[in-house]
Copies of this chain bind each other. A is one copy, B any other.
Amino acid sequence: MTAYTATVTVRLKEGVLDPEAETTKQALERLGFELDHLRSADQFELDLDAESADSAAERADEMAERLLANPTIHDYEVEVEQR
């Protein structure tokens, strides 16, 4: 077994409204910053032991499907690195 860190990044799907990101953008603009667009995402770094990077990615994928992301409104991506 090897120790891996799987990083799961969960974003709202294109077209899903994100009032929190909009509010953050407006707050930055009030502070004088100019920006075109702001998107927010949640990131989970999972430390786990697995036989291979592929099997670590597969388990992270399953955790995203079952708990970390809501497939109706979220897209997610998984990256795996050896620890």
Contacts and interface: CB of A to CB of B under 8 A. Distances in A.
A13 interface: no
Interface in A28-51: 28, 31, 33-49
Number of copies: 2
A63 interface: yes
A16 interface: no
B42 A42 contact: yes
Interface residues of A, number: 30
A76 to B, nearest CB: 12
B27 A67 contact: yes
Contacts of A62: 33
A35 to B, nearest CB: 5
